[in-house]
């Protein structure tokens, strides 16, 4: 069932230009991305062949054959660079982006098609292997880059390119087109088309997104039809030799096993799922589509209650880069791809906008501060693809990957943080993340600026100064994190607020006549907390995790004189905190125990238990691990009764 959306109640993120971030936690990290990450990624794209491939000079027999997803790497880099340019002019970077766009323009075919692989490696085979070859995935990232570049710079050079490509896709996937009824194996274009519609006002792009969503998982299955027409198993047949015998598993892999409105469980490749669900939430908002909204809510419940790591990481099965069974969340053997956590940030934001409920933004915050932020090193030039919750000491970040989706995804997330910090309703200014800076809103009652001062997440004190253009009545809604447990306090101009009665849907909703200089103050409790997993997560039975505010913590071997697996924490031990000067964040300290063999005893097995000596246990934020050399690491700590 679809009902027309009420434009007056539709929430949306603020434009990038409406938000200024001046934050002790995020600003230095964003500066690292601007000055270190983005230039390093440009060098990798040049030396790896992605830029050069766009010149269309490759010929059969030449080395370094262009890959099916190289356009997506370039596109995400352009998107990150564009967001950076929107805030900090940089003529050198601007010129590099223009060069990349010129290369894309030169690679675009006369009818608008743009994919190097199907231009020089497999000409004549476009749109014949949608399941495997990432054509629409690459197109989606190009579209997102075009929208971002236009929004950030005002230029239309890339936007014009991607509109021509989108117009071609609309024709080819429409009635009578060569791919009528088709959809992509790696979802991405669906959410990109919604962005393109919002940037251009062209309704065809929104309708195309919905058409792709509606076709997915319907019978006869499109990927079966194209395989029969193609006469082969597809590009990735070498990687999935078992696919012909495991038909249902690999339909689930691409979330094409059922029509999307009938899906109830998060299955398959976790990044693909996140991009699909993000588009479903976008379309539910745009069309007032109750079926898509209900499906999103069912999938959300399954994912967050049975398949999400405590860090917000997603995907426990490395063999499919995706979801395992319910409660299957291994530590060392887990996966939790950086891109999946970033995708969860996207979906969480869209669900918060769709519903107005803060619980979705709570998950967005968890994924952002933990599973996504851990994806790059402190200096911003080494990366995790997977983000395990335990390490035997062999795990480390890499400078680049053959499949390099995660590094530029990380860069574009941090450079676009503005989109996730605030939202705007008809007469409602929402503060979703606690990030110092300012935001300008255009409400029904008039223009409003909010100035936020905080050292979150090091402290839980937040001050919000409200400045309307003139005195007016409207709502300021401030998210009250679920982890605060009802212990937060708030004041307006020094007068206490009855927080329990003012909180609705996870937001502290303050409706009143606001005047220039009114101040909201918030005090969020940041005492360390214990978390326990459902006993069905068998690997975590008898273990405990530590959290302080939005941050999940871990033990690292570099802080201890024994491997962290030998450490245990009594259930009744108290916690202290100490500022880590390098991180600018408190570490958690506690009195624990270390199991050790008696001096000189090197036997593999013995008839008596190991010695247990008191030791100081030190936990650091999970996002920061593996920055001080390789060592053992664990999020879930062995727990003793006392």
406 catalytically annotated: no
Catalytic residue chosen out of the listed positions 42, 144, 321, 337: 321
Distance CA 101, CA 348 (A): 31
Q: Would you call 308 helix, strand, or coil by DSSP?
A: strand
**Residue whose C-alpha is closest to residue 313's, from 357, 343, 276, 349:** 343
Distance from CA of residue 462 to its chain's centroid?
A: 25
Residues 6 or more apart in contact with residue 605 via CB below 8 angstroms: none
Largest separation between any pair of C-alpha atoms in the chain: 79
Cα–Cα distance measured from residue 311 to residue 390, given in angstroms and rounded to the nearest whole number: 12
Show the tokens assigned to 625.
Answer: 């691990």
The token pair at 327 is 């409660």
The closest of 272, 232, 229, 228 to 250, measured between CA atoms, is 272
Strand partners, 579: 586
Sheet order of strands, 19-21 included: 19-21, 437-443, 446-454, 461-468, 518-523, 489-492, 495-496
Cβ-based neighbours of 127, under 8 Å, separated by 6 or more: 135, 172, 178, 179, 182
Contacts of 436 (CB under 8 A, 6+ apart): 21, 22, 23, 24, 452, 453, 454, 455, 456
Give the three-state DSSP class for 633: strand
The answer to whether 49 and 71 have CB atoms below 8 angstroms apart is: no
DSSP 8-state symbol, 253: H
Element (H, E) at 292: helix 290-306
Contact 385, 337 (CB under 8 A): yes
Is the separation of the CB atoms in 197 and 105 below 8 Å?
no
**What angle in degrees, to the nearest 10, is found between the helix axes of 338-355 and 358-366?**
160
Please state whether beta strands 428-431 and 472-479 pair in parallel, antiparallel, or not at all (unpaired).
parallel
- Taking residue 442's Cβ as centre, other Cβ atoms within 10 Å add up to 14
Question: Torsion over CA of 220, 222, 227 and 229, rounded to 10 degrees?
Answer: 80
**Angle subtended by helix axes 91-107 and 70-87, to nearest 10:** 150
Joined tokens for residue 426: 């008809």
- 339 catalytic? Reply is no
DSSP letter assigned to residue 383: B
Active site residues: 321, 405
């Amino acid at each position: 069932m679809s009902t027309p959306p009420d434009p007056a109640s539709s929430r949306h993120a603020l434009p990038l230009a409406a938000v200024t971030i001046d934050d002790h936690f995020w600003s230095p990290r964003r500066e690292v991305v601007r000055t270190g990450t983005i230039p390093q990624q440009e060098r990798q794209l040049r030396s790896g062949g992605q830029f050069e491939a766009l010149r269309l000079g490759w010929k059969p027999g030449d080395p370094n054959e262009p890959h099916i997803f190289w356009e997506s790497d370039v596109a995400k880099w352009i998107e990150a660079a564009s967001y950076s340019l929107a805030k900090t002019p940089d003529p050198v970077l601007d010129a590099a982006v223009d060069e990349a766009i010129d290369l894309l323009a030169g690679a675009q075919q006369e009818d608008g098609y743009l994919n190097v692989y199907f231009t020089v490696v497999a000409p004549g085979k476009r749109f014949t292997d949608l399941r495997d070859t990432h054509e629409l995935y690459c197109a989606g990232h190009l579209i997102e880059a075009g929208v971002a570049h236009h929004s950030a710079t005002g230029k239309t050079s890339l936007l014009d390119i991607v509109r021509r490509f989108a117009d071609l896709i609309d024709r080819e996937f429409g009635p009578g087109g060569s791919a009528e009824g088709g959809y992509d194996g790696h979802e991405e274009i669906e959410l990109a088309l919604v962005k393109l519609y919002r940037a251009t006002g062209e309704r065809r792009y929104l309708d195309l997104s919905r058409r792709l969503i509606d076709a997915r998982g319907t019978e006869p299955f499109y990927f079966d039809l194209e395989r029969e027409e193609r006469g082969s198993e597809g590009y990735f047949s070498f990687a999935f030799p078992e696919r012909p015998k495991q038909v249902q598993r690999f339909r689930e892999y691409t979330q094409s096993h059922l029509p999307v409105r009938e899906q109830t469980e998060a299955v398959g490749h976790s990044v693909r799922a996140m991009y699909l669900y993000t588009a479903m939430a976008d379309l539910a908002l745009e069309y007032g589509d109750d079926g898509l909204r209900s499906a999103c809510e069912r999938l959300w419940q399954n994912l967050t209650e049975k398949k999400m790591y405590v860090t917000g990481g997603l995907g426990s099965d490395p063999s499919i880069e995706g979801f395992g069974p319910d409660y299957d969340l291994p530590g060392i053997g887990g996966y939790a791809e950086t891109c999946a956590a970033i995708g969860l940030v996207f979906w969480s934001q869209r669900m918060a906008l769709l519903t107005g409920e803060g619980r979705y933004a709570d998950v967005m915050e968890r994924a952002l501060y933990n599973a996504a932020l851990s994806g790059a090193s402190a200096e911003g030039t080494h990366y995790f693809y997977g983000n395990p919750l335990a390490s035997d000491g062999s795990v480390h970040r890499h400078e680049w990957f053959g499949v390099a989706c995660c590094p530029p995804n990380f860069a574009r997330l941090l450079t676009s943080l503005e989109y996730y910090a605030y939202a705007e309703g008809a007469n409602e200014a929402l503060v979703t993340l606690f990030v110092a800076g300012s935001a300008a809103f255009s409400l029904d009652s008039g223009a409003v600026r909010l100035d936020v001062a905080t050292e979150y997440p090091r402290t839980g004190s937040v001050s919000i100064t409200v400045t309307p253009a003139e005195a007016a009545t409207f709502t300021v809604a401030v998210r009250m994190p679920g982890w605060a447990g009802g212990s937060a306090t708030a004041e307006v101009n020094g007068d206490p607020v009855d927080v329990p009665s003012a909180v609705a849907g996870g937001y502290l909703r303050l409706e009143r006549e606001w005047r220039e200089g009114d101040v909201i103050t918030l005090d969020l409790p940041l005492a360390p907390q214990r978390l326990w997993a459902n006993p069905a997560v068998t690997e975590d039975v008898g273990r405990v995790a530590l959290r302080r505010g939005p941050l999940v913590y871990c033990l690292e071997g570099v802080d201890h004189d024994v491997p962290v697996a030998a450490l245990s924490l009594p259930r009744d031990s108290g916690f202290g905190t100490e500022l880590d000067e390098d991180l600018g964040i408190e570490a958690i300290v506690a009195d624990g125990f270390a199991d050790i063999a008696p001096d000189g005893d090197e036997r593999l097995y013995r008839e008596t238990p190991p010695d247990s000596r008191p030791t100081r246990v030190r936990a650091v934020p999970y996002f920061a691990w593996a920055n001080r050399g390789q060592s053992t690491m664990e999020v879930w700590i062995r727990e003793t009764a006392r």
